[in-house]
Chains A and B, each alone.
Chain A
Amino acid sequence: MIVAAIALNTFREAVRDKILYVLLAFGTLMILVSRAIGWVSFGGEDKIMTDIGLTAIWMFSGMVSIFVGTGLIYKEIDKRTIYTILAKPAERWHFLLGKYLGLALTTLVNLLVLAAIFVGYLWLCRAPVTLALGEALWLTFVEMLVVTAVAIFFSSASTPILSAIFTTIVFFAGQLTKWVVDLGAVLKDSHPWAGKVLYALYLVFPNLHNFNIRREAVLATQDRLQMAIPANELVACTVYGLAYTAALLLAAHLVFRRRNF
């Protein structure tokens, strides 16, 4: 109950944030412009349009998670409003989880709005729409759950600017962890230990590339197929995302419970 109250309040606070609307407007603009970019092409107009739309949703949802998420806890501490919350029968984990769920709800609403505009626009332009797009959007949401947890983790320990920088680094690096293993293979002869270290890093770092099935979804949609990846793979990616989110929130709680305001 307490968690739900904090979450709803966080959501209300986030939707009042101007940055959310700026990002939403840019995301919408990018989706709408995608058709014009498709026109320039010789063939593949629908594919280019779908590609740009999915990438825009991913990019702007990521920005919402990073820029809105990293300021939330700090703002409460800075304005001293956290005292009024913690003075009530609310534990610190209530506060942290509430903040996280509120932000996740904001991300979900943002993603749903952009997705509705995207799918509506595809439909208007008579481009193919299948459930494969839903798969890609679902995994984008799961990815945002992880990114939001990363933002909350840094936000519970640091200032908003540093948190934004760290979360952005994790967001970027998380997309490329797959290639870290390849780099280890290249360095295997010259630095035999490098491969092991890089592999360990690969396992520890969130592998956000798992959630990127945009290429598969676009191709499946062009071929009028309903599934971009098999259902068991979709479930595996979702479980991976939720487990990583839980780990990050626990780590955030560990830091936050020892923090003095």
Chain B
Amino acid sequence: MQGTANSPEVAQWVERVARNASGERLAQWGYTLYFVLFAVGVALLLAFSFLPDERTPDAADTASRRWLRRLSRARWYLAHSGAIILALLCCISQQTGVDERRGFIADQDKRYEKAIRQLAARKDKQEALRAEYLYIPQGNALTYMSLGNTSIAADYVWLLSLQYVSNSFRRGHKFDMLLRFYDTVLDLDPHWVEAAINAGKILSALEPNRYAVEKFYTNAILKNPDDWRLPYEAGRLFVVPPSNLALQADYSRRAVAWFNGVITRLKRRLEKTPASSPVAAGTTRQIKEIEDLVARLAVESGYYDAADELLWKAAHDETLPKAMRNAAATEWLNAHSLVIRTALQRAVDEHKKRTGAWPADLRPALGALKSVKMVPFDENGWPVDAFGFRIEYDPASGKVSSRGVNAKRTLQAASIMNALLDLYRSNNGGEAPRDLAVLQTFVRRFYGNPANPPGPAVLDALGADLNTIVSPLGTPWEYDPKAGKVVLPGYCNAKVLFRNARKIVGDEE
């Protein structure tokens, strides 16, 4: 034992010893009680055999004789009590023996798992899986077994699945059969949406492959086509950023598709609900919230036009809370800037295709902006993004960019950079890195451990190569080694950057 006298290890050890000691004390008391009862039982039987069977009173009886006669009347009670006690003690003795050999339910479970493991070692994995499958009856079989009471059979399989999940943690996170359990629940009670939702949540927590979980939801949605909650949950599956950032756009696209389905269903429900009912108000609010979510996801999935329209609508919706309108306006600045940038980039690309060279400036591409609503221009007739910055153009590479969009990304990336600098300091005795190259070496080593992969936010900020040198602005990060923080340009400031959002919601100071 390495711990000091006050360390948690020592405390745990002391607790364990105390627990064992109390268990032993309890067992000793148990043995004592057992032998006391045994003695009582034997004594009662002996009393029965020694007491004379004399019930008829006699006038010539002495006092002691009379007492004996009285006791004699209870002779059979003594015999019965003694025999019952001994019989019960015999039962207890046999039961403890059986328990020792057979164990309790948990031990039986362990033995079963051991047998399955042996089977897997002897034969192939499929065989072991089949043997384990025998444990769960099929939906059809359960329908007959429950005499058509499929709802209660579904409850049974559901409870069984929860037990399976908790046991699986003990088994080392093997959830091979979980989907089979949930499919059986769906077969037995296809309209038990709450179980389907909870099953999907459990699956999404345990199954890293979102597409497999999506299949389960699709199955449930096919059985409940009008229920909005299932597509909503299916959409939520893809709101969490993937660990592989290459999938981000697809995740967002899928989420948008599912959420659009939710909006359609909710609108259908709204049509059937009287306008004065509280349900109608709740449904309207839900629709707005999901539309807002769809708009944000649309930006990530590249549907800038859709996002532009939805966010503009949300930012001007007086019925929404101010905070939500503010957030929508902020996101709209980004989406609208992206719409402008994309239109210009497309026109520049077409120019290159047509003439074989990038245009010298953006003038030949400006015609493309006619199809875009609300494009601001500065006094020189140069397009400006929604944040209020001139659209930037590099004639050497033909790349059009929005400073506002990049600044927004830089702002988010800076918070990750500063968190990584703090991490460096806590791992190096409070010392800040000399430069960002040192930080990059540290970060790559830190996340190089397969057990500790970088999260989606880190990957989004630094890229897959964990580059801590170049910022999303395309220029190197400015670093202050004394403060141990990255320094941002003046315009990368939330107050400056989002001033137009405050104008939109009428919150201008």
Please give the residue numbers on chain A whose beta carbons come within 8 Å of chain B beta carbons, in ascending order.
Answer: 37, 40-44, 47-48, 51-52, 55, 58, 172, 175-176, 178-179, 209, 212, 214-215, 218-219, 222
Contact = CB atoms under 8 A, between A and B. Distances in A.
A40 B155 CA distance: 11
Contact of A44 (B144, B148, B158, B202): B158
Contacts of A222: 194
B28 interface: no
Interface string B162-173: 100000000000
Contacts of A172: 147
21 contacts: A37-B155, A37-B159, A40-B162, A41-B158, A42-B198, A43-B197, A43-B198, A44-B194, A44-B195, A44-B198, A47-B192, A48-B155, A175-B147, A175-B148, A176-B147, A176-B148, A209-B148, A215-B150, A215-B189, A215-B191, A219-B192
Contacts of B149: 55, 58, 212, 214-215
B43 interface: no
B26 interface: no
A131 B148 CA distance: 22
Nearest to A175: B147
A210 B365 CA distance: 72
B152 interface: yes
A222 B191 CA distance: 11
Q: For the complex, would chain A's binding face be called helix, strand, loop or mixed by DSSP majority? A: helix
Given A51-B155, A52-B155, A43 B195 contact: yes
A176 B144 contact: yes
Contacts of A44: 155, 158, 192, 194-195, 198
A218 B151 contact: yes
Contacts of A37: 155, 159
B151 A215 contact: yes
Nearest to A49: B155
Q: For the complex, would chain B's binding face be called helix, strand, loop or mixed by DSSP majority? A: helix
Contacts of B197: 43
Contact of B148 (A40, A178, A218): A178
Contacts of B144: 176, 179
Given A41-B162, A48-B155, A51-B152, 7 more contacts: A37-B155, A44-B192, A44-B194, A179-B144, A212-B148, A215-B150, A215-B191
B159 A51 contact: no
Contacts of A214: 149, 151-152
Q: Which 8 A-B pairs have the closest CB atoms?
A: A215-B151, A175-B147, A43-B198, A175-B148, A48-B155, A51-B152, A55-B152, A209-B148
A41 B192 contact: no
Contacts of B148: 175-176, 178, 209, 212
A178 B150 CA distance: 14
A212 B151 CA distance: 11
A214 B147 CA distance: 12
Interface in B150-202: 150-152, 155, 158-159, 162, 189, 191-192, 194-195, 197-198, 202
